[in-house]
Amino acid sequence: MSHVFPRHTHKPPPTAVRGAGCYLYDADGKAYLDGSGGAAVSCLGHGDAEIIAAVQEQTAQLAFAHTGFFTSDPAEELADLLAEHAPGDLNRVYFVSGGSEATEAALKLARQYFVETGQPQRRHVIARQQSYHGNTLGALAAGGNAWRRAQFAPLLMDVHHIAPCYEYMLRAEDESAEAYGLRAAQELEDTILRLGPDSVMAFMAEPVVGATLGAVPAVDGYFKRIREICDTYGVLLILDEVMCGMGRTGHLFACEADGVTPDILCIAKGLGAGYQPIGAMLCTGAIYDAIKDGSGFFQHGHTYLGHPVATAAGRAVVRKLLRDDLVARAAWQGDRLSAALTERLGQHPHVGDLRGRGMFQGIELVQDREIKQPFAPEHGLAGKVKAAAFEAGLICYPMSGTRDGKNGDHVLLAPPFIISDAEIDELVDKLSGAIDHAIGSAA
Ligand code: PLP
């Protein structure tokens, strides 16, 4: 009997024993093409000798020093690298161990910023429906995924959710993309005005929606208008790039494509590329200075903040991304992946939408393409695609309608940036087969 508490208690998973390049191998020697980088984590693929060496060297030299007493070279140098390449004035970096810790810290930093700057009445958070910001209670409250929130609702703080910018489903037929973006952003202003502008502290959003909709970028102009609205009312803009950041969209920071700089930015997943658990929250100098000149202490923290081995892994990952031009590679191999998906699935009767940026691509499956009618949630279609793909030796990331009646079925692809042309072909072949198999069994 296994004593591990698995994700799905009724179906124990196979044992993964080895990773190399874009593949994982189980104990029976079966190979799986990692088409989703786990959950958009493994940007460099598996078994990268350089990152492994960085982790080993740091472990031998200094495995741990508590940030209550010390800083460390890898933490300082990784912070310098991130601050140097981050947009705008995002020049202070707070290291944590993952995505939920990053978004949780962002919410607390926003609150403390207003307490320290004499606006303690600012307490409301606005976020978006069909978003995911993590599974700790603050992050879960900010997220808008009904299925993930449902049973914990009594424990969650009040967060106000507006619609996401989701062109495929929410743009009216006779509306331009630009007009739609402005209309979607207007809901933020309306909500701020309804709550009372002086009471709102932050708006949180993913630049490209990942875990709930499958790689949905906003239309041009949406985030620029969001930035203007936040500035008008003194509301902090928190962008959650835990999934879409660190080069995945073809930009080191996803918000660069939207031409906006948030006040607080969250990253994780690709920062450690799976070699270590690490996340980070970046904030502007202005926010940092308010705390520095105020209490001088951000009232937050975890034991493993700025962990030397985790930051050494992150430092090696970012150095490699920059040195080997892997962000540009994510952009052009992403275009190739997108073209291959369009060629194979663009006319598929049950593929409603193909979208994404770089190595972050999504597929929306629908029962009826003409009227964009999702499959009934009972089919659990995306889960069936995942199972059929896994059987065929492909890992992809599903979001099934059974989890949230409103969400429909989506498949997220987020392969390592090093994926080859032949591996892209294998991915698209196996995925198309899995979609047809799953739809056949759902019909
Ligand atoms: N934010 C986003 C956008 C995510 O996609 C995720 C995880 O998928 C999280 C936060 C939470 O990250 P973690 O699972 O590392 O806590």
Domain boundaries, the chain: 16-48+325-441, 51-324
Please give the Cα distance from 83 to 308 (Å, whole number): 18
Closest CA to 166 of 216, 229, 106, 105: 216
Structural contact between residues 279 and 96, judged by C-beta atoms closer than 8 angstroms: yes
Mutation to probe ligand 1, out of 206, 269, 302 (largest number of atoms < 8 A from CB): 269
Please give the Cα distance from 159 to 104 (Å, whole number): 13
pLDDT of residue 442 exceeding 90, the answer is no
Ligand 1 centre distance from Cα of residue 43 (Å):
15
Ligand 1 centre distance from Cα of residue 274 (Å):
13
Ligand 1 centre distance from Cα of residue 169 (Å):
24
pLDDT of residue 443 exceeding 70, the answer is no
pLDDT of residue 378 exceeding 90, the answer is no
Q: Note the ipTM here.
A: 0.99
Ligand 1 centre distance from Cα of residue 368 (Å):
31
Ligand 1 centre distance from Cα of residue 243 (Å):
6
Confidence of residue 9 (pLDDT cuts 50, 70, 90): confident
Ligand 1 centre distance from Cα of residue 132 (Å):
7
- Percent of the chain predicted with pLDDT > 90: 92
pLDDT digit string, tens, across residues 307-358 = 999 999 999 999 999 999 999 999 999 999 999 999 999 999 999 999 999 9
Closest CA to 136 of 10, 349, 300, 21: 300
Burial of 86 (0-12, 13-18, 19+ CB in 10 A): buried
Q: Which of 46-50, 237-241, 295-299, 405-409 has the lowest mean pLDDT?
A: 405-409
Q: Which residues pair with 398 in a beta bridge?
A: 411
Residue that is written with structure tokens 């995925």 in the block = 431
Residue 30: both structure tokens together:
């079966």
Q: Which atom of ligand 1 is nearest to the CA of 209?
A: 3
Beta strands in 10-123 (DSSP E): 16-20, 23-26, 31-34, 90-96
Ligand 1 pocket, Cβ-based, cut-off 6 angstroms: 39, 98-100, 103, 132-134, 206, 210-211, 240, 242-243, 268
Q: Which of 86-95, 317-326, 366-375 has the lowest mean pLDDT?
A: 366-375
Query: Which numeric CATH code is attached to 51-324?
Result: 3.40.640.10
Per-residue pLDDT, averaged over 179-187, amounts to: 98
Taking phi over 0 as left and psi of -120 to 50 as alpha, with beta for the rest, 274 belongs to left
The distance in angstroms from the start CA to the end CA of the chain is 37
SS3 category, 57: helix
Q: Residue with the nearest Cα to atom 12 of ligand 1?
A: 99
Q: Which atom of ligand 1 is nearest to the CA of 266?
A: 1
Q: Which atom of ligand 1 is nearest to the CA of 131?
A: 3
Ligand 1 centre distance from Cα of residue 348 (Å):
31
Q: Which atom of ligand 1 is nearest to the CA of 100?
A: 16
Query: Alpha-carbon torsion 121, 301, 252, 269, what sign?
Result: negative
Q: Which atom of ligand 1 is nearest to the CA of 134?
A: 11
Ligand 1 centre distance from Cα of residue 25 (Å):
25
Residue 114: both structure tokens together:
């207003």
Confidence of residue 199 (pLDDT cuts 50, 70, 90): very high
Ligand 1 centre distance from Cα of residue 422 (Å):
30
Helix ranges (DSSP H) in 284-410: 285-293, 308-323, 326-345, 381-391
Average pLDDT of the chain to the nearest whole number: 96
Please give the Cα distance from 263 to 117 (Å, whole number): 15
Burial of 232 (0-12, 13-18, 19+ CB in 10 A): exposed
Mutation to probe ligand 1, out of 41, 130, 133 (largest number of atoms < 8 A from CB): 133
pLDDT value of residue 6: 85
Q: Residue with the nearest Cα to atom 15 of ligand 1?
A: 99
Mutation to probe ligand 1, out of 216, 242, 397 (largest number of atoms < 8 A from CB): 242
Q: Which atom of ligand 1 is nearest to the CA of 206?
A: 3
Query: Alpha-carbon torsion 415, 367, 399, 129, what sign?
Result: positive
Confidence of residue 401 (pLDDT cuts 50, 70, 90): low
Ligand 1 centre distance from Cα of residue 244 (Å):
10
Amino acid at 140: L
pLDDT value of residue 406: 62
Please give the Cα distance from 287 to 201 (Å, whole number): 13
Q: Which atom of ligand 1 is nearest to the CA of 98?
A: 15
Query: Which numeric CATH code is attached to 16-48+325-441?
Result: 3.90.1150.10
pLDDT of residue 404 exceeding 60, the answer is no
Ligand 1 centre distance from Cα of residue 377 (Å):
24
Amino acid at 420: S
pLDDT of residue 405 exceeding 60, the answer is no
Taking phi over 0 as left and psi of -120 to 50 as alpha, with beta for the rest, 358 belongs to left
Q: Which atom of ligand 1 is nearest to the CA of 269?
A: 15
Per-residue pLDDT, averaged over 231-247, amounts to: 98
Ligand 1 centre distance from Cα of residue 210 (Å):
9
Q: Residue with the nearest Cα to atom 1 of ligand 1?
A: 133
pLDDT digit string, tens, across residues 380-391 = 899 999 999 999
Q: Which is more confident, 428 or 10? A: 428
